[in-house]
Amino acid sequence: MRAPDDRIKAFFNSLLNVGFTDITAPIDGRAGRILVQPGNLVKANDTGALLTINQIAPIYVTFAIPGDAVARVRAAKAADKLTVRVGGDGLSAPTEGAVAFVDNAVDPATNTVKLRARFGNTDERLWPGQFVKVALNLRSDADAITVPDAAVKSGPEASYVFVVDAGVAHQRDVVAGRSVDGRTLIASGLHAGQTVVVDGQSRLADGARVRVVDAAASGAADGSPP
């Protein structure tokens, strides 16, 4: 009298097979075009995808840096000072994220190291497959003095800028640091609140009288003096 046992076994096997018809996505994301339609022939162990799901939030951006920059990047990451931003066409403003992965080897063909950054992307501004511009920030300088890149000129002995005081231009030697987003860090030689010339320096001499015109209004250069 094994018939009832066989029927029970068959019943549970049927339940198991029915359970296989419920397909649950392993990740949250946005589904693409359905690739299998009613009436299509499918078989067991078929490797064809039903559809593709791309994770949107969070999203990851992969990029590369020069091999000789790895030590500085790792030091900034260890000190919790490393931030990453992405921008590009279609993005109204840069989006900030965090470096999640630094590869363990330099690619000898390109002398670069791959990095991976994570972005919350809750507003879905970033999209899978999109090309973006990546900027790494290794340090922040509080109360730094910056000027538009166009204000800094190279002299025979030092970099210099023209400072305007009471309608008179004065040449000032400065120690210029790095340039970020069109602005140059001034390590010494200027103080906050001074007005600098961003166009026409070749026609100026120390002590020349000038008329101040707002750079944004004249189109001479982006940004404002410190």
Give the pairing type, strands 145-148 and 168-180: unpaired
Is residue 21 in some structural domain? Answer: no
Q: Which of 87, 119, 137 marks a domain boundary?
A: 137
Q: Which of 88, 118, 137 marks a domain boundary?
A: 137
Encode pLDDT of 128-187 as tens digits. Answer: 999 999 999 887 777 889 999 999 999 888 999 999 999 999 999 999 988 877 899 999
Residues contacting 21, CB < 8 A, separation 6+? none
**Given a cut of 80, is residue 31 above it in pLDDT?**
yes
The Cα 53–Cα 71 span in angstroms is 36
Encode pLDDT of 176-210 as tens digits. Answer: 988 877 899 999 999 998 999 999 898 899 999 98
- Over residues 11-24, the mean pLDDT reads 84
DSSP codes joined into one string, 2-29? -HHHHHHHHHHHHHHHHHTT----SS--
- Over residues 111-117, the mean pLDDT reads 97
**Given a cut of 50, is residue 43 above it in pLDDT?**
yes
CATH number for the domain including 185? 2.40.420.20
Q: Are residues 133 and 149 in the same domain?
A: no
Task: Give me the phi and psi of 194, to 5 degrees please.
Answer: -75, 150
Q: Tell me the three state secondary structure of residue 201.
A: helix
Burial 27-61 (b: 16+ CB within 10 A, else e): eeeeeeeeeeeeeeeeeeeeeeeeeeeeeeeebeb
What is the reported pTM? Answer: 0.61
Residues contacting 106, CB < 8 A, separation 6+? 67, 70, 112, 113
Is residue 81 in some structural domain? Answer: yes
Report how many domains make up the chain. 2
Pick from 199, 198, 173, 195: which is nearest to 186 by CA?
173
